[in-house]
Amino acid sequence: MADFYQNDLIITLHRLGNPGLERIESELREFSRQRPVALVLPALVTEFQNEAIKGIIAELKKVRYINEIILTLGRASDKEFSYVREFLSQLPCEVRIIHNEGKRVKEIYATLERNNVWAGEDGKGRSAWIAYGYILANAQSEVIALHDCDIVTYNREMLARLCYPVANPNIDVVFCKGFYSRITDKMHGRVTRLLIAPLIRAMQKLVGPNPFLMFMDSFRYPLAGEFAMITDMARTNRIPWDWGLEVGVLSEVFRNYSPRRVCQVDIADNYEHKHQLLSADDAKKGLMRMSVDICKSIFRFLAAEGIVLSDSFFKSLQVAYIRLAEDTMVKYEADAAINGLKFDRHAEASAIEAFSNAIKIASEAYSENPMAAPLIPNWNRVTSAIPGILDMLKKAVDEDNR
């Protein structure tokens, strides 16, 4: 981003001039002596068939400030787990792979259920949560960074800029969110551009100035999957297991920490990964499922903050959202025009219609069961319920990786 604008709530760290990757990495090596960094990589085994993961590993081989890498592997057989373990052996730091389909880790999940602690359904949220548990059990890192494994445009500068604010002891930051633009020959990021931003602003029109909504509106890319945090946050924050993960994480950060200790950082000039289909006719697939889960997450957090969400509120919200989303679309059309990008007004308008329907579906689901919250208990509660669980988890993962 070319500007240096700061909003009133959180810190924004821009990319200004030529920051110099070598300088940043050199400083991170020094910082890591006081604040060792763990990197969490949630991945499905199918991602090891794609070129993106090869590029990510090639870049991580050059990184010297990461203390440990925890790759939490989903939907893999024992044979596939062995292949991934061999593939990652080229990395220079300690690597542990959590074999979610392996018998040892499955027994951990079964132990949780026997003690009335449910870790949610299989997905990125649970994968991140179980990795945090292992990091806490290992007790060797003070900072946790996380990014996806499908980033086509990945380079190690993304990771360095993501880790720097939290690892630097001179910056009083406990949580850092990455942001970036997502373009090819056109704009992407429809859920952020055409759902989240106008939805948050429509809610502000209806409920007035609200600290949580102002906090959410401060992020340039609230759905970015890349963030870093202090390790203690893994103990206190709950994690959604559904597709509302990124919004849910921000909600927990807001709930437990001062916004003035939160930052966002420009980590890339452009970012490309796999794109989800809109699936406008099926709320259980693609971006529609994501949109419904995101809306429900926001509704539940607002209700917990004391906002009354009635049927009349939801009807007004849908009308206000559509107006603001249409206005937003016009702004992006102008943005695309000056940058020579393709802009399909019909496709954008169709997305707004689909997202409006997602708001309606989410509001109906919330009204039917406002107490339903897809949150995995935080590790403080889990260790209270099962005092030896972290030792069990560490033993299971370490034995799998022998």
pLDDT digits (tens, 9 = 90+) for 60-79: 999 999 999 999 999 999 99
Q: How far apart are CA 133 and CA 139, in angstroms?
A: 10
Q: Is the pLDDT of residue 375 over 80?
A: yes
pLDDT at 3: 85
User: pLDDT grade, residue 283 (50/70/90)?
Assistant: confident
User: pLDDT grade, residue 81 (50/70/90)?
Assistant: very high
pLDDT at 191: 96
Q: Is the pLDDT of residue 34 over 90?
A: yes
Could you tell me what percent of the chain has a pLDDT over 70? 100
User: pLDDT grade, residue 301 (50/70/90)?
Assistant: very high
* First CA to last CA distance, the chain: 45
pLDDT at 2: 65
Q: Which amino acid is at 333?
A: E
Asked whether residue 219 is domain-assigned, the answer is yes
Asked whether residue 29 is domain-assigned, the answer is yes
Q: Which amino acid is at 374?
A: P
How many domains is the chain built from? 1
Asked whether residue 119 is domain-assigned, the answer is yes
Q: List alpha helices for 305-344, DSSP H.
A: 311-338
Classify residue 41 as left (phi > 0), alpha (psi -120 to 50) or beta. beta
Asked whether residue 384 is domain-assigned, the answer is yes
Answer whether 187's CB lies under 8 Å from 332's CB.
Answer: yes
Q: Is the pLDDT of residue 324 over 90?
A: yes
Chain mean pLDDT for the chain: 96
pLDDT at 86: 97
Give the three-class secondary structure for 310. Answer: coil
pLDDT at 378: 96
Q: Is the pLDDT of residue 279 over 90?
A: no
Q: In the numeric block, which tokens belong to residue 272?
A: 């490309």
Q: Is the pLDDT of residue 373 over 90?
A: no
Average pLDDT of the residues in 136-163 = 97
Rounded to 10 degrees, the C-alpha dihedral 66/150/250/25 comes to 30
Supply the pTM of this predicted model: 0.96
Q: Is the pLDDT of residue 274 over 80?
A: no
Asked whether residue 284 is domain-assigned, the answer is yes
Parent domain of 50:
11-400
Q: Is the pLDDT of residue 252 over 90?
A: yes
pLDDT at 209: 92
Asked whether residue 5 is domain-assigned, the answer is no
Q: How far apart are CA 222 and CA 245, in angstroms?
A: 11
Asked whether residue 213 is domain-assigned, the answer is yes
Decide the pairing of beta strands 227-230 and 143-146: antiparallel
Q: Is the pLDDT of residue 17 over 90?
A: no
What CATH number has the domain bearing residue 194?
Answer: 3.90.550.10
Q: How far apart are CA 225 and CA 180, in angstroms?
A: 11
Asked whether residue 1 is domain-assigned, the answer is no
Q: Is the pLDDT of residue 1 over 60?
A: no
